Amino acid sequence: MLSENTIHFMNRVIKLSEDNLNNNKVPIAAIVVDSSTNEIISEATNGDAVLDHAEILALRKALDKLSTNRLNECDIYVSIEPCPMCATAIAKTQIRRLYFGAEDKKGGGVINGPKIYSHSNLKVPEVISHCLVDETGNLLKKFFESKRN
């Protein structure tokens, strides 16, 4: 069962993802939260450039805002399973906990694909998957259906 905080932050991720979907962009969003204060430190959505993934953008904003190289007191909430690049960036910044909604069976890097966190050379965050999975999965379905029509 998800906590009230998890539901609150995942709903924020869903809202940001919906905004991206309404702008005809990939509906993926991420937020970084200070785990001790429950304050949102940063938020981002997927951009237009190939490396502008929501997770990378949110991590960079949080690192800049906190003037640090580590986010070990922070959690990240993402609408979909991070890709291998983003999963590695999350580990490298030492995020405490990763929450995500829908699995990405084709491009994921956490519980699918290369399973980045199975490599012993990384500081692995605690992973809480399938958060509000129906809501997050439906956004992606809508996006790809619109591209086929």
**Is 145 labeled as catalytic in the residue annotation?**
no
117-128: string of b/e by CB count within 10 Å (b at 16+)?
Answer: beeeeeebbebb
Separation CA 63–CA 46 (nearest Å): 18
Catalytic residue among 4, 39, 43, 55: 55
The arrangement of strands across the sheet holding 74-80 comes to: 39-45, 29-34, 74-80, 97-102, 126-128
Q: Up-side HSE of residue 20: CA atoms within 13 Å toward CB?
A: 26
Residue type, 84: P
Kindly report the CA angle at 98 between 69 and 29, in degrees rounded to 5?
Answer: 90
Q: How many residues does the chain have?
A: 149
Separation CA 14–CA 79 (nearest Å): 7
Catalytic residues: 55
